[in-house]
Amino acid sequence: MRTTAPPVESVTNAQRDLIDVLAAEGASPSKSALARRLGWSLGNTFDVIRRLEARQVVRSARDPENLRITSVGLTESGRALARSLAPRPHAAGRKGSARWTLREDHFATGLTPANGYDYGLLLADGSMNRPRNAIHNKLRAADRRALEEMRERFGSNAPIKHHRDRVNGKTYLNVTIYFASRRLCDDLFNLGLGPNKDFQDYNLPRVTGATAAAVMRGLFDGDGTVVMMRRLNPPGARIAINNRAHTLEWVKDTVARETGVTGHIYQQRPRHFVYSVMAHEDVERLAGWMYSIPGAYLDRKHDKLFTLLRQHESGLAARHAIFDARERRIAELYGRGVEMPEIAAQTGLTLGTVARHRKRIGIHHRKPYKTPTFADLCEVRRRRNQRETNREVAAAMAFSESTIQKLATDSRALVKLEREWQVVQVVRQWRSSGQFIKVIAKRLGRSPAWVVALLRRYDGIEIGPHPATRPSGAQDGTEPADTHLRAKGHGSPAVQRRASTLRRPVDA
């Protein structure tokens, strides 16, 4: 059996990772334990073990029944190879003969306002390689200053590397920094940041107060974005954070507990979720909370967020000034006795907008607007034929001048009111034969309320209350006893006949 170690140059990175884990463990872990430790699949782990067994670097024990690997350990040549493997620069903190300094106790005391921002950045864009004991963080090249400040807080002189990444057909220029420390990895692992974090759910710590604000600011700078809400009037800002569903649920609970802002989470595509805050008041409260404590932040996101918030506030102020001018104009016209349609014509607003402004300022017109009938149309045209002006006719009939002009000249109004007058005559005929309002409405294809409003406008008929609430003096024989029942259509025909019999006037 060969006892000398194979050449170091022939060992791949994956094989070196497995050898490092076995040398650090001391014991002989199972294949599944190695896969979890390395963040690999069982197939990839088995393939690396098989190749190292062929080179007599590792040996494995198998179950005689199903031939599954129960334990894996290093051979004598494997231990010699582990000792001869020189530490890699990014894992051991060396580059040539220069030592990369690092303050390894940055997270030793847990999360604080001082290191919360760094934890948020690592939770968003960082990754961990436990076999190499390395922390890796990547940002856009435009945010290189953020990595330089992070390197200063970690007390490191590790280099910041530039590289290009191609994602979904697009090329991005990014910057990356590595920190190598077993103690640092252990502290972050205890804080819920472990290897393969995009596919595994770790227990994230409970953070409160200033620490929570710092962590959320770092997570927002790493995975967050500011979106202009153009559908708001005026346009505002929306805060969105992209991450795993498990992480975003933790974000949602923390933000709701600290600020009372209840954002929502939705799935944008498979394994891609977004935490979104849309209401202007909620965005303003969340932004004020995240930036309430001094500390590092990305200038471009901070400036864009608060610029949109200021633009929304200034737009609201200009909008309120316009509304105030409108309401003063509407109040002035109302004080002069002008009706709502005329106010809408003079101000260039719709009738509904004038009504909303009138309701907001709490004023009422002295002459309530009424819907013209066919009789009003005939009266207007008779007066116009007598050479009366629109102002004179409006003063005599309590209509606005625009309504008089429409009745006098608009052919569509004539056709509409003529048809309405024909319907009124038919309804009167059906009512005289004793048909109920609901039956008439069904025959006309209209609602009972429409039929009642039509009769009230033309005949002044008021649908009376129920007999139980009607005073006894109403039974004087001046109206049919079942008018209220016919109008509202209460009860079956048998009930109608019974009520008519009981309430029929008694002859003297």
CA angle 383, 385, 388 (to 5 degrees): 50
Q: pLDDT tens string for the chain (508 positions)? A: 444 555 655 677 778 778 877 877 766 788 888 887 777 778 888 888 888 888 888 888 887 776 778 888 888 888 888 777 655 444 434 443 346 788 888 898 889 999 999 999 999 988 888 777 888 888 888 888 888 899 999 988 888 888 888 877 888 888 889 888 888 888 998 898 888 887 788 889 999 999 999 999 999 999 999 988 877 777 888 999 998 889 999 999 999 999 999 899 999 888 789 999 988 899 999 999 999 988 889 989 999 999 999 988 888 888 888 888 988 888 888 877 777 778 888 888 888 888 888 888 877 655 555 678 888 888 888 888 888 888 888 778 777 777 788 888 888 888 888 888 888 888 888 888 888 888 888 888 888 888 888 888 787 655 444 333 344 444 444 444 334 333 334 444 543 444 444 334 433 3
Query: What are the residue ranges spanned by the domains of the chain?
Result: 8-86, 91-190, 209-297, 432-502
End-to-end CA gap in the chain = 134
Around Cβ 8, how many Cβ atoms within 10 Å? 11
3-state secondary structure of 321: helix
Does 3.40.920.10 match the CATH number of domain 91-190? Answer: no
Strand order in the sheet with 236-243: 224-229, 236-243, 272-277, 264-269
Fold of 8-86: Arc Repressor Mutant, subunit A (1.10.10)
Q: Minimal CA–CA distance to 290: which of 271, 263, 267?
A: 263
pLDDT for residue 369: 57
Largest CA distance in the chain: 134
3-state secondary structure of 132: coil
Contacts of residue 504, defined as CB under 8 A and 6 or more positions apart, other chains included, come to: 481
pLDDT for residue 283: 92
Tokens of 64: 């005689």
CA dist 217 and 254 (Å) reads 13
Quick check: do 91-190 and 209-297 share a fold? Answer: yes
Tokens of 233: 């009037």
Buried b (16+ CB within 10 A) or exposed e, 476-498: eeeeebbebbbbbbbeeeeebee
pLDDT for residue 475: 42
CA dist 378 and 407 (Å) reads 9
Contacts of residue 41, defined as CB under 8 A and 6 or more positions apart, other chains included, come to: 35
Q: Minimal CA–CA distance to 446: which of 423, 430, 429?
A: 423
Which run of H or of E encompasses 226? strand 224-229
Does 3.40.50.2300 match the CATH number of domain 209-297? Answer: no
Cis peptide leading into residue 448 (ω within 30°): no
